[in-house]
Amino acid sequence: MWKNIFKNLPVLHKISIFVQNYENFPNQSNKMAYQFMSAADAAAMINNGDTIGLSGFTAPGVPKSILEEVAHRAAAEHEKGNEFKINIFSGASTNDHVDGILARNNAVNMRAPYQNTPDLRKRINTHDAHYFDRHLSEMAQDTRYGFFGDIDVAIIEAAAIDETGEVLLGCGLGNIPTYAPRAKKIFIELNEALPQSLMGMHDVYVPADPPYRSEIPIYSPSDRIGRPTLKIDPSKVVGIVRTNALDGVKAFTKPDATSELIGANVVQFLVSEYRKGRIPKEFLPLQSGVGNVANAVLHYLSMDKELPNFMMFTEVIQDSVLELLRLGKCTFASTCSMTFSNEVETELFADLKYYHDKILLRPAELSNNPEVIRRLGVIAMNTALEADIFGNVNSSHVLGQKMMNGIGGSGDFTRNGYLSIFSCPSITKEGLISNIVPHVAHVDHTEHSVDVIITDQGIADLRHKDPVQRAEAIIENCANPMYQQLLWDYLKLGAGQTPVALKAALSFHATFQEEGDMRKTDFAKYC
């Protein structure tokens, strides 16, 4: 029925007509042929070994009730001596309603493509759960290619659904436009906390697969190319579960002094590039990760008077972006998820009309798409766990062994961005650990993709430098003073074009494991 309303109307007019005509859209669900049920009843239809595809990207848009009941069911089956584990495909991380409670009940067999829950992290690092780390831009297409097998169940958080299977999604999309069509059965979590005025803020689009793929026609972050809703097969919907909850994202703490220094250094670098004319006068779209460092960067951008107003083409926007939109410093944000704290999410919903034409929610396959990132000239700003003196970056593994969260979308933006910036504190644990090391213990981003490294100590521009020159720039500008001499000493040990001293390459990490303090590294042991 919606296609008749939308026919032959301009996109924006189509959206306004829909909102007007379906103002009470969620309330029409009672008239539909769908079966309403409890979360426990839905969970009873999920079986051991099932592969579940979820809506959402980070906590926003992620289901909040059915998988909690699946976790309880798993615990009951384990008490009986029965195996009960499921496979979870998401857009990115989820929340405690999914990864947390499932992990605590040992109900996860396999997880992809990204997670950040402490309980699941423990399971992954003890091999109680399998984890497949994947670039976020590639997860959807690999699923359609059949690389991961069947999707047994899709669970979609929705603000509304009509009898034809048109679904108004929530505050995060992820990969659900791919998971839902491939699923054998679908559950809808109808979240009554989500306003129907979200209609028009989504851009649902799935590229054709090879050999029929054509360009993705996004030439500006604000370009709309898809539908405002997700179309599913209504015959696959086996049940609707009512919920009423915000996303539960905790507000980030105020950036500490180190994060403030990093944020100021990032903005200083951007201003310098702009003055030199190496960033166009119109400026370029920005991508920013999530966390205190990202918040600090965005805070300093809000205060800078020299850089022009800008747009964002990114995978996640957080509280600080809403303030930038309110101030007009950021004029538009294309994203996969509005990862706002409960307080800010409430503010958003109360004034959604103001932000309606300033935010566009896309699937991860678009928000992280390498083709689009390169075309738009996105300036990529991501965080590292550690970086080595040659410019390699570790984003995912502590001491090269224990998974932290995953690579996420950092690779998508790093490899394809106009500028690829990584930042991190120079030290952690009050100096027991240097985050600038002789060689990273795990490589997520090679020296070929990393343009700039920034710490609280300063800025290392690695462009057009050979390995030794990169090392000199990083040691001089980014390493903490308490580690600089050690790093200079290491650089003297190697030979060749990239002077890696094989025996001593992981000496900082080995010393920390043995002594608990990287400063105790003794290179005499490796000579």
Which residues are known catalytic residues?
A: 315
Lookup: tokens for 243: 């919920």
Confirm if 190 and 243 have CB atoms less than 8 A apart. Answer: yes
Contacts of 114 (CB under 8 A, 6+ apart): 90, 92, 93, 133, 134, 136, 405, 406, 407, 408
Q: Where are the beta strands (DSSP E) in 377-417?
A: 379-383, 386-388, 393-394, 397-398, 402-403
Kindly report the number of other CB atoms within 10 A of residue 485's CB atom.
Answer: 11
Long-range contacts, 301-305 (Cβ 8 Å, 24+): 301/267, 301/270, 301/329, 302/327, 302/329, 304/267, 304/271
Eight-class DSSP state of 32: S
- What region, left, alpha or beta, does residue 304 occupy, with left being phi > 0 and alpha being psi -120 to 50 degrees? beta
Confirm if 171 and 338 have CB atoms less than 8 A apart. Answer: yes
Environment class of 464 (CB within 10 Å of its CB; exposed 0-12, middle 13-18, buried 19+): exposed
Computed from CA positions of residues 445, 450, 456, 457, in that sequence, does the dihedral angle turn out positive or negative?
Answer: positive
Alpha helices by DSSP H, 377-426: 410-416
At residue 414, the 3 state secondary structure works out as helix
| Single-letter amino acid, residue 517 | D
Confirm if 521 and 508 have CB atoms less than 8 A apart. Answer: yes
